[in-house]
Structure formats: C-alpha cells, structure tokens
Amino acid sequence: MLQREFYRRGPRHRGDEDITFLDIRKRFEFRSIQIGKWVTKAEQAAAAPLFYDALCDLMTILGGNESLISLRGTLALQYGCGGQPGVSAHYDPRTRSFALAKNAGPGSIAHEWFHAFDHYITEKAFVSPSKAFASEAWLDDQVMIDHPLNEDLSQLYQCIILNELGDAPSAYFNRALGFDKALESDYYSRPEELCARAFEAFVQDASIKNQFLVKGTKQSDEAKWGLYPQADHRHQVNARIYHYFSRLGQALKRQGRRSE
C-alpha cells in the first residue's frame, strides 16, 4: 500500500534527511509510538516520512503547534498494531492511542485524530462529564466550564449537529440517522462520528492537500450518500472549526512562549 504515491500539495517540512518514527515522537512528543512486529524495516522507512508530513500538514491547517497534535504528550500512536479486526483505523479511549493498520490506514489520520481530541477535551470543557467524548457530553446537555474557548467549542458542535436555529437536528444528522436505520445500526449518527467526519471534510477542504492525512469526503460512496456535511452547511461547519482551532492554537502558542 505504501509503495504507491500519495498526492500531497503543501509546504516542505523536512530536508533530504531520512525521517524515522523516533524523529516523529521527538518532534511531537507523543507519549509513545508502537510499530507492529509484521511491519518491516523497509515499510517503516516508507511510512515515517508520510506520517511526518501528514502530522505537520495537520498542525499547519489547524494553526497550532506540536503540543496540539500530541494533545500535550498524552496521545500514543500505533502503526500496524493495536487496531481492531476488520477496521483500518481506530482510536481507543482506554489507552488514549490511535492505531492505523499497515495496509489500510492511510487517509484516516484526520478522522482518528479528531476522535482523540474529542476525548481529550472532555475533561477540559465539562464540569463533571459522564461521557467519553465532548461531543457526546454536549449533546447530553452536560454543564460546560465557563471559558471563551468552550463557548466556541459548543458553537462548533451545535453547527454540526443542529440546524441553524439550534432547535432541531441538522440535515446532516438526519441523513446519517436515516442511513443507520437502513443498516439497523447506530454508528453514523453518533455525535462523535458526525463530528469526526465533519473534521475530515474541513481538513480535506484546506488549501494544503494530503491523501495520507485525509481522503474520501467528496467522491467516496459515503460522500455520495450524504454522510459528510454538504453545500452551505459544509462551509458553515468549516468556518466554525477554523475559528475554534485557530483560537486554540494561538492560546497554546502563547503558553509555549511563556514556558520557554
């Protein structure tokens, strides 16, 4: 899978030197990086630069710093291990780690990273959360901690999940719910999945393009079935996500300068 080219258009983040997973861990300060025993040295050498560029691209798109990407060093990365059978990528709240399968994970980083963020921010945004993800806690009307960034986060979730008046589900939510009913499932309409797919769309719509980071929000079957935000709603959601993360990124950068 990694032998083919992944389209990328964006700034250069590294020189001609070889990039390893150790370099990724050092730069972003991930809690740990674990590589599966079936991932060969050659596959590691091919994958590490792709991960590096994808994470740097995500950091640039969000206007944040390395601390944001690793969620202050709390996030672990697994490649070729730690996943679930039949699932190409997976975030595990119990271990605060996201895992990408060796042959099927590329393109899933943005989605799984947002799950990690949505989980991480729960305790920062809510007084006494009883849900794993902040999007779940928000939909459950749990009490938020009074802070301007939390107000922005609330408006982000509302823009994704509710209509413009905020008094009924959004068309995006209703399409996902209808799809779930047809499948007799409850997956696509979960708040954490709605928000992760909306985040994917935001990342893919950015001027920086990276298929290893994200793909499939425009031409995939899921996109054609309406499982991503569409038309004006997509633009509105993108604006909310940009507003929130740009303000969060500025706050993190200020904190980083003060700690130097």
DSSP string, 196-247: HHHHHHHHHHSSSEETTT---SSSSHHHHTT-S--HHHHHHHHHHHHHHHHH
**CB neighbour class for 144 (10 Å; exposed up to 12, middle 13-18, buried from 19):** middle
Tell me the pLDDT band of 84, cut-offs 50, 70 and 90: low
Question: What pLDDT score does 15 carry?
Answer: 83
Q: CB neighbours (10 Å) of residue 57?
A: 25
Distance CA 74, CA 229 (A): 30
Question: What pLDDT score does 89 carry?
Answer: 87
User: Domain for residue 225, yes or no?
Assistant: yes
Question: What pLDDT score does 73 carry?
Answer: 97
User: Domain for residue 258, yes or no?
Assistant: no
User: Domain for residue 39, yes or no?
Assistant: yes
pLDDT > 90 in the chain, percent: 85
Domain interval for residue 72: 8-250
Total domains in the fold of the chain: 1
**214-226 average pLDDT score:** 95
User: Domain for residue 62, yes or no?
Assistant: yes
**52-66 average pLDDT score:** 97
Closest to 87 measured CA to CA, from 68, 64, 103: 103
Instruction: Indicate the pTM of the whole model.
Output: 0.94
**CB neighbour class for 142 (10 Å; exposed up to 12, middle 13-18, buried from 19):** middle
User: Domain for residue 260, yes or no?
Assistant: no
User: Domain for residue 109, yes or no?
Assistant: yes
Mean pLDDT of the chain: 93
Closest to 118 measured CA to CA, from 139, 97, 136, 142: 136
Tell me the pLDDT band of 171, cut-offs 50, 70 and 90: very high
User: Domain for residue 34, yes or no?
Assistant: yes
pLDDT for 222 beyond 90: yes
Stronger pLDDT, 167 or 85, i.e. the higher one: 167
User: Domain for residue 38, yes or no?
Assistant: yes
